[in-house]
Amino acid sequence: MLLGRPKGVGKSKLDEYEAEIRALIKNGSTKTWIAQRYGTTRRNLSHWLKQHSIE
């Protein structure tokens, strides 16, 4: 019997806003401002950006 969380990357609430976040980063918005706008932490946003090769 397997226990624990399934392996792999789960879906993030930021995934549905990927195009918008890419545009905001490109236009120079700060990570702090973007994180507040989408209701997440700066650390979570930074991790998500790294996973999606954005920056």
Round to whole Å and give the CA distance between 29 and 36.
12
Query: In whole numbers, what is the pLDDT of the chain averaged over residues?
Result: 91
Per DSSP (E only), the strands in the chain are none
| Residue 20 in tokens | 């918008």
The confidence score (pLDDT) of residue 38 equals 96
Round to whole Å and give the CA distance between 29 and 25.
5
Burial tier of 4 (Cβ tally within 10 Å: 0-12, 13-18, 19+): exposed
pTM of the model: 0.79
When pLDDT is cut at 50, 70 and 90, the band that residue 22 belongs to is very high
